[in-house]
Amino acid sequence: MRKVLKALKSSFVRKWLFTLLAFMTILLISFMVYTHLNSSKVLIQEYTSYSELQTEQIAQQLDSEFESYSRVAAILSLDEQIRIYLGTQDASSLFPNIHSWMYSQTSAYVEGFPAIDSIYLMPYYEKEIFSSKSNTFLPSRHFDDTTCLTVEEAPDAITLVPREKYGKYPYLMTIYLPLQQSGNKSLIVVNIDISRIPILDSETEESFQKIYIISDEGELLYRFGQRDMPESLSAVSQLKHFNNTMDFCSEYINEKEGYIYVQSHSGKYPWYYVTVTTPQSYMGKTYDFHSTLVTFLPWLALFAFFIVIWLAMLITHPIYTITEFLENPQTKVPDNISAPETQKIIRQLINYVESNQMLSRELQHQMDMQNKATFWALQTQINPHFLLNTLNLIRSMEIKTLGYEHEAPEMTLCLSRLMQYALDSTNLVSLTTEFYYTSLYLNILNQRYKKKLHFDIKKAESISEARIPKLILQPLIENAVFHGCSPRLDTSNTILVTAAKVNNSCRIIVQDDGIGISEETLIHLRNKVADMKNIPSNSIGLQNVVLRMYLTYGEDFHIEIDSVPGEGTGITLSFPIYLE
């Protein structure tokens, strides 16, 4: 406590303390006002968003369920014995055990899918019907499911139809899958008891969220405890908000008992999924929580006050201690300073001169690392590695379509090899390797300019193994073509690349006979590359080449730019010969 009172005498400590107290007070008051004014609105918005999300998930899940039952019908249509039964009158003579086979196939799906009520197989001759429910062939005259469509009445494409069955299930969804064989039409029927679909089977009278299925025509196809098919929307008062002109809508209805109405159209079928959610229980629990929070708010404020004092002391104590030390400097760390962080800071102040050398070495190390990072960043600019696999695929497609002799596959191969060369992690390569890939790049340029460029590459054998940064010549050749030759492209344009050994150094010249550079532009260009240390790391083109060469060879690298307007431009690179 004595230390606290002593620290409070400092204006710096008091400033921090009052600042934190003001901040915490404003925060608590703002929280109370916001909670009081916006809790109901926020709760309604939150629960509306939750209901919208739930409805979308229900719609997707039910669409997926109906789609899975359609796949059951499709799978049955692929069974060879079922197809023979549906398309042949004497199927029993061909396959004596066909009845047991079809029963095993259909009953597997009836047992595996709780919502599948039964499966009918209706052959084209309509003398009998196979029913998975009765496990037998029923003569057509004894088949009394009058609401089920016959083979002739069924549509010519797979269709889902809501209907009754024997008056027992007023909410069946029936899938009709017609089959055409030798000009004869047969039918596979899958009856789905909607109330047994898992997401609907869990619904009860007490459920706070009710689910409905309403047709595009505004008829109620499904609700919990439904007794007619279809029903009028007037059977449920909350469905008066149904609007078949909108695929999706949601609304909070503030009536005697508020509820949230959400409708979402099926993504595959001609009906809507509608939910009516009553959020009172959820909101009541949340209001209880807020009441409890308000009750404990004074205690929370008191606790926050002590936390603020502790934080103020924790934040300001090291600075307060260092300030006292600076006012009364010593040659060693005072004994009354126990905090290791504060001791470290004071020790650094005392040993500043000794640590300065260490910091200088660290700075030099950081500069070296930065140079390496800059070098790799520059190289990454020409590493379009994401294209390599695509280029190989394109070449295969070109060969398949155009043949090996066509120019397109060859050009794609050149580009693919060039990209693979760029992706290689190796930094320095031999002149032989660099000139080979330079020739690939020249071939690509020549194809682009319809073979109106002439290239000549000359290299002395004595420096063929000299090391050079890879892809260093490509920007120079690109500048020569685009800025020198392309403005007046004709059959006389030539790019000459030579490499020779001069006084224990390697000299590479890229020469073109293009339009040249004006005197003013040439002076400006020379000035841009003169100060190699200050070239920005994000530069491209000629500056990129200069910076990479400087990072590799240092002060031993030199560049010369010569040009005569109307006659051409030459760029000379001179650097030491490095051998592996």
What's the token pair of residue 572? 């000379």
Residue where one domain finishes, among candidates 308, 324, 344: 344
Q: Residue 527: is its pLDDT beyond 80? A: yes
Residue where one domain finishes, among candidates 171, 196, 221: 196
Same domain membership, residue 11 and residue 107? no
What was the pLDDT predicted at 289? 53
Range of the domain at 108: 79-196
Task: Note the pLDDT tens digit of each residue in 208-256.
Answer: 889 999 999 999 989 988 878 888 898 898 999 999 999 999 998 887 7
Same domain membership, residue 111 and residue 19? no
Burial of 194 (0-12, 13-18, 19+ CB in 10 A): buried
What's the token pair of residue 556? 């031993």
Contact 430, 464 (CB under 8 A): yes
Same domain membership, residue 105 and residue 10? no
3-state secondary structure (DSSP) of residue 189: strand
Q: Residue 542: is its pLDDT beyond 60? A: yes
What was the pLDDT predicted at 272? 95
Confidence bin at 46 (pLDDT 50/70/90): confident
Same domain membership, residue 93 and residue 16? no
Give the residue, 75 or 45, on which the prediction is more confident: 75
124 part of a folded domain: yes
Q: Residue 302: is its pLDDT beyond 60? A: yes
77, amino acid identity: S
Confidence bin at 312 (pLDDT 50/70/90): low
Same domain membership, residue 512 and residue 451? yes
Same domain membership, residue 106 and residue 9? no
Burial of 333 (0-12, 13-18, 19+ CB in 10 A): middle
The residues near 538 (Cβ < 8 Å, ≥ 6 apart) are 377
450 part of a folded domain: yes
**Least confident span in 320-324, 396-400, 411-415:** 320-324
What was the pLDDT predicted at 206? 77
CA gap 383, 561 in Å, rounded? 27
Same domain membership, residue 571 and residue 438? yes
CA gap 72, 74 in Å, rounded? 5
Q: Residue 479: is its pLDDT beyond 60? A: yes
Question: Quick one: average pLDDT of 530-554?
Answer: 76
What's the token pair of residue 136? 């037998």
Give the residue, 150 or 381, on which the prediction is more confident: 150
Tell me the C-alpha to C-alpha distance, in Å, between residue 231 and each of 167, 202, 217, 221. Answer: 14, 22, 12, 7
Contact 138, 129 (CB under 8 A): yes
- Estimate to the nearest angstrom the gap between the alpha carbon of 66 and the chain centroid: 30
What was the pLDDT predicted at 528? 84
**Least confident span in 207-216, 315-324, 468-477:** 315-324
- For β-strands 494-502 and 454-459, DSSP reports them as parallel
Question: Quick one: average pLDDT of 534-540?
Answer: 60
Task: Note the pLDDT tens digit of each residue in 250-292.
Answer: 998 887 778 899 999 999 999 999 999 987 655 555 555 556 6
Same domain membership, residue 450 and residue 543? yes
Question: Quick one: average pLDDT of 292-296?
Answer: 64
111, amino acid identity: E
- The number of beta carbons lying within 10 Å of the beta carbon of residue 263 is 24
What's the token pair of residue 513? 């006979």
Same domain membership, residue 549 and residue 431? yes
DSSP 110: H
Nearest to 414 by CA among 391, 434, 393: 391
CA gap 526, 562 in Å, rounded? 9
Q: Which residue(s) pair with 253 in the sheet?
A: 259
Same domain membership, residue 436 and residue 330? no
What was the pLDDT predicted at 96? 76
What's the token pair of residue 508? 């590479």
> What number of helices (H) and strands (E) belong to the chain?
16, 18
3-state secondary structure (DSSP) of residue 235: helix
- For β-strands 209-215 and 428-430, DSSP reports them as unpaired
268 part of a folded domain: no
Tell me the C-alpha to C-alpha distance, in Å, between residue 498 and each of 193, 432, 462, 507. Answer: 84, 12, 13, 8
What was the pLDDT predicted at 353? 42
Task: Note the pLDDT tens digit of each residue in 101-123.
Answer: 888 888 889 888 989 988 999 89
How would DSSP label each residue in 274-325?
A: EEEE--HHHHHHHHHHHHHHHHTHHHHHHHHHHHHHHHHHHHHHHHHHHHHH
What was the pLDDT predicted at 382? 47
The CA angle 163-166-172, to the nearest 5 degrees, is 30
Contact 494, 512 (CB under 8 A): yes
Tokens 């006084």 found at: 503
Tokens 């609907």 found at: 200
What was the pLDDT predicted at 10? 59
236 part of a folded domain: no
Same domain membership, residue 102 and residue 9? no
Confidence bin at 539 (pLDDT 50/70/90): low
Percent of the chain's residues with pLDDT above 90: 18
- Overall number of domains in the chain: 3
400 part of a folded domain: no
- For β-strands 209-215 and 271-277, DSSP reports them as antiparallel
Nearest to 475 by CA among 573, 357, 329, 365: 573
CA gap 436, 448 in Å, rounded? 19
Give the residue, 131 or 534, on which the prediction is more confident: 131
Contact 8, 238 (CB under 8 A): no
408 part of a folded domain: no
What was the pLDDT predicted at 37? 59
CA gap 508, 431 in Å, rounded? 10
CATH number at residue 529: 3.30.565.10
Contact 210, 92 (CB under 8 A): no
3-state secondary structure (DSSP) of residue 571: strand
Average pLDDT for the chain: 79
468 part of a folded domain: yes
Tokens 């061909």 found at: 94
What was the pLDDT predicted at 257? 77
Same domain membership, residue 105 and residue 28? no
Sign of CA dihedral 548, 550, 552, 557: positive
270 part of a folded domain: no
Give the residue, 347 or 290, on which the prediction is more confident: 347
Confidence bin at 515 (pLDDT 50/70/90): confident
3-state secondary structure (DSSP) of residue 419: helix
The residues near 483 (Cβ < 8 Å, ≥ 6 apart) are 514, 569
Residue where one domain finishes, among candidates 276, 310, 344: 344
CATH number at residue 179: 3.30.450.20
Question: Quick one: average pLDDT of 409-437?
Answer: 81
Q: Residue 152: is its pLDDT beyond 80? A: yes
CA gap 548, 381 in Å, rounded? 12
